[in-house]
Amino acid sequence: MKKIVVLLTISVMLSFIYCGQKDDRARLRKLQAEQQKLSAEIKALKNKLSKSGQTDVGEQHLYVDVKAVEEMPFHHYINVQGTVESDNNILIPAQSSGVVKRIHVKEGDNVRKDQLLAELDGAIIQKGLEEIRVNLELARTVYQRQSRLWEKGIGSEVQYLQVKTNKEALEKRLAATEEQYKLTKIIAPISGSVDEILIKAGEAVAAGFGTIRVVNLSDMKITAQLSEEYIRQLKVGNPVEVELPVVNNTFRSRIVAVSQVIDPRDRTFPIDVAFPARADDIQPNILAVLTINDYSNPSATTVPVNVVQKTEESHFLFIAKPSTADASQPWTVEKKTVRIGKTWENRVEILAGLQAGEYIIVRGFQDLADGQKVQINTIK
């Protein structure tokens, strides 16, 4: 009996719930129909007011910030890393093979041009020189005597020519041997300081082996490799800002050489940047960061880069125009297709599609539509 009572109770409750849900669905359909009717009436009234030039006083317009477009100087730069180099950074090679006999300098010494820095063992060549000099002295004496006899008509011409030829051959041999002996000397080709010594006394070196490096810091430059895409943009004279992070030094300079040959291995080309006349605290091969001015327009139309939006085919931005003579009334949004140029930092150059004096929307432009009415706030 109890089970029957419980089942009847549950059945009554489900009936009430079902009836309540049915009433709610009916009410929802009624309200939706009323909403559609009201929306249609509101839209019709807005269109009527718009055609008559009136504004709906109850309508709330979106507020946006606008800024007048002005022409101003625009500069574009290229950032690249370079290296400080010296044209007078010479690793002197050994000009002949032999054993290092003596080194006359040490690292850090200042040397002058043509100073003897080191020498190889040239004892054998030196002995050959002594022998040639003795023979040459005898040949010259014989030649002098034979010449005097020949002038007096004594002796044959063959004897005279033999003596003369022997003397001249020994003179040439002496000159050649002296030049060979000079090759055992390592001489400074420039004035500067000894930066590195790669040989030791008693070691054997081969001809062509680097021995001593001499550096002159009075003639330095900065070299850098740039992508081939910039080869038409960079010219001799382009201004450059140079930063040397290692020594915390910054200065302004200019490009002094631009190669017109592209390296096929990495598709780059080198440039040279002038260096101050003297910089005692700067060493070759340190890192330089270059900021190169490759483009300038003294009267460019530029806008913040974030206001320019992009589609698959073009770039555009939004401007605002007064709807009436009363600037306090809502303005009209206009979508402008533009052609952009170069970008630097947070500014982009507009090459076409925008005129000075127009008001671009710089804040609140994300969800705008062409023809929309907005309230403006002009910023400087």
Domains, the chain, in order of start with CATH, read: 62-74+298-378 (2.40.420.20), 79-88+217-295 (2.40.30.170), 89-120+188-215 (2.40.50.100), 123-183 (1.10.287)
List the chain pLDDT tens, one digit each, 380 residues. Answer: 544 544 555 554 545 555 555 677 778 788 878 877 876 776 666 556 544 545 444 456 788 888 888 888 999 999 999 998 887 888 999 999 989 999 999 988 899 999 999 999 988 888 888 999 999 899 899 889 888 888 888 878 888 889 899 999 999 999 999 898 899 999 999 888 898 999 999 999 999 899 999 888 777 889 999 999 888 888 898 899 999 988 888 889 999 999 988 989 989 999 999 887 656 667 778 899 999 988 889 999 899 988 898 888 889 999 888 887 776 778 888 888 999 999 988 899 999 988 888 898 888 888 788 888 888 888 77
In this predicted structure, what is the pLDDT of residue 47? 57
Taking CA atoms, 212 is separated from 51, 186, 274, 299, 305, in Å, by: 92, 8, 27, 55, 55
In this predicted structure, what is the pLDDT of residue 28? 78
| pTM score of the predicted model | 0.56
Of 255, 257, 233, nearest in space to 242 by CA:
255
Backbone φ and ψ of 265, nearest 5°? -75, -45
In this predicted structure, what is the pLDDT of residue 281? 67
In this predicted structure, what is the pLDDT of residue 5? 46
Taking CA atoms, 165 is separated from 8, 139, 157, 161, 249, in Å, by: 149, 10, 12, 6, 67
In this predicted structure, what is the pLDDT of residue 339? 92
Sign of CA dihedral 21, 22, 23, 25: positive
In this predicted structure, what is the pLDDT of residue 291? 93
Structure-token match 């477009």, residue found: 69
In this predicted structure, what is the pLDDT of residue 80? 92
